[in-house]
DNA sequence: AATGAAAACAGAATGTT
DNA sequence: AACATTCTGTTTTCATT
């Protein structure tokens, strides 16, 4: 699947998504065209799904962050409502096992906005919220699993 | 705080973190040096916290993904153990209100690895796991809140 | 996968509103 | 103070080996 060079590339690009192919080629000891071709294939194969600038939620005024478990099923289920899923307050959404149908990470500017959001979500099923106090690990790079070494 | 141009820049760089300043300057109708300076200041102010390649978990063999709530407190609390927090299986960690101390998103190659991880986490408090079936919204860009417009 | 040439780009200095 | 223009050195891309 992925060889050692691919993993080194993934590690570097996860740490700094704006690395130039030139610099990347130095770090993985390959020529620039070779590394560019590797990256292109990682993208094509769906290993790299995109490059994203990460934005601090507090810094842009999204001071209320929460995990919301949705207890919904059947035709009203949140997952069947395209418009509801498109709401920008939803930052991530995971479908899960257990009592809940899915878990949402949401970010809003205020508790008043949060109340409104919960009311809207309640059209699809019972929302159960947990407030996020802080994010000690907001994001961490994926590293090579032991099993593959 | 952030004006309309800043938000256009944030939108573009969240969608494609590898955009050149040249291309970005075209999209936001500004000169390349002006846009580069804007980006530099967004980074300096902590609005943009980094640029990361996003990797598909399935594609790199992390087929078991779960949300783990940790019920822990006091000196054994997971949040006080640097070494435990450094485990690469932990992809995100949120400190939350409610019964749980924190919620972890973890990714491992197999159920056997997951069992081992849960056993290790149990040293700090009672872990309660929910398996992630799929991620309909694995990541979404932050957009300008209504309140600021 | 490496090399070399042409096009595109980044960064610094300077000038403009 | 924020932006545009210009210039120089890199970087990217594509052809070729």
- Look up the CATH number of the domain holding residue B77: 3.30.70.920
pLDDT score recorded for residue B40: 97
Whether residue A34 is found in the same domain as residue A67: no
What tens digit of pLDDT does each residue of A123-140 get?
999 999 999 999 999 999
Tokens of B44: 């300096």
Please judge whether B133 and A95 are an interchain contact, meaning their C-beta atoms are less than 8 angstroms apart.
yes
Whether residue A14 is found in the same domain as residue A69: no
What tens digit of pLDDT does each residue of A59-94 get?
999 999 999 999 999 999 999 999 999 999 999 999
Which of A103, A19, A6, A39 shows the shortest CA–CA distance to B136? A103
- Residue B52 in any domain: the answer is no
User: Is strand D within 7 Å of residue B138 (CB)?
Assistant: no
pLDDT score recorded for residue A126: 97
pLDDT score recorded for residue A33: 95
Whether residue A122 is found in the same domain as residue A78: yes
Under the banding of pLDDT at 50, 70 and 90, the label for residue A146 is: confident
CA distance A129 to B58: 28
Task: Please tell me which residue of chain B has the smallest CA distance to A6.
Answer: B60
Tokens of A40: 């292109």
CB A99 within 8 A of CB A91: no
What tens digit of pLDDT does each residue of B38-62 get?
999 999 999 999 999 999 999 999 9
Under the banding of pLDDT at 50, 70 and 90, the label for residue A145 is: confident
Distance of B35 CA from C12 C1′ (whole Å): 15
- Other CB atoms within 10 Å distance of the CB of residue B38: 21
How many helices and strands in chain A, by DSSP H and E?
5, 5
- Which residues of chain B fall below pLDDT 70? 147-149
- Residue A145 in any domain: the answer is no
Whether residue B99 is found in the same domain as residue B126: yes
- Residue A13 in any domain: the answer is yes
CATH of the domain at A14: 1.10.10.10
Whether residue A40 is found in the same domain as residue A71: no
Domain count, chain A: 2
Chain A residues in contact with B115 by the CB 8 A cut-off are: none
With a pLDDT cut of 70, the percent of chain A lying above it is: 98
Nearest-nucleotide field for B35 (CA, C1'): D3
pLDDT score recorded for residue A74: 93
Please judge whether A143 and B94 are an interchain contact, meaning their C-beta atoms are less than 8 angstroms apart.
no
Distance of A22 CA from D11 C1′ (whole Å): 7
Tell me the mean pLDDT in the region A52-57: 98
- Residue B90 in any domain: the answer is yes
The answer to whether residue A148 scores a pLDDT higher than 80 is: no
Please judge whether B51 and A147 are an interchain contact, meaning their C-beta atoms are less than 8 angstroms apart.
no
CA distance A12 to A10: 5
Nearest-nucleotide field for A5 (CA, C1'): C1
- The C-alpha of A45 sits at a distance from chain B's nearest C-alpha, in angstroms, of 8
Tell me the mean pLDDT in the region A87-105: 98
Distance of B32 CA from C12 C1′ (whole Å): 13
Q: Residue B73 belongs to what domain range?
A: 58-131
């Amino acid at each position: 699947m992925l060889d050692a060079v691919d993993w080194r590339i993934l590690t570097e690009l996860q740490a700094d998504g704006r690395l130039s192919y030139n610099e990347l080629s130095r770090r993985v000891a390959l020529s620039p065209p070779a590394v560019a071709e590797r990256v292109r294939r990682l993208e094509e194969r769906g290993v790299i799904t995109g490059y994203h600038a990460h934005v601090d939620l507090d810094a842009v005024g999204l001071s209320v962050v929460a995990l919301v478990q949705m207890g919904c099923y059947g035709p009203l289920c949140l997952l069947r409502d395209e418009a509801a899923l498109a709401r920008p307050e939803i930052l991530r959404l995971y479908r899960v096992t257990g009592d809940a149908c899915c878990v949402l990470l949401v970010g809003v500017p205020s508790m008043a906005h949060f109340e409104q959001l919960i009311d809207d979500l309640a059209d699809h099923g019972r929302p159960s919220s947990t407030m996020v106090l802080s994010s000690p690990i907001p994001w961490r790079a994926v590293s090579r699993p032991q099993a593959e070494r």
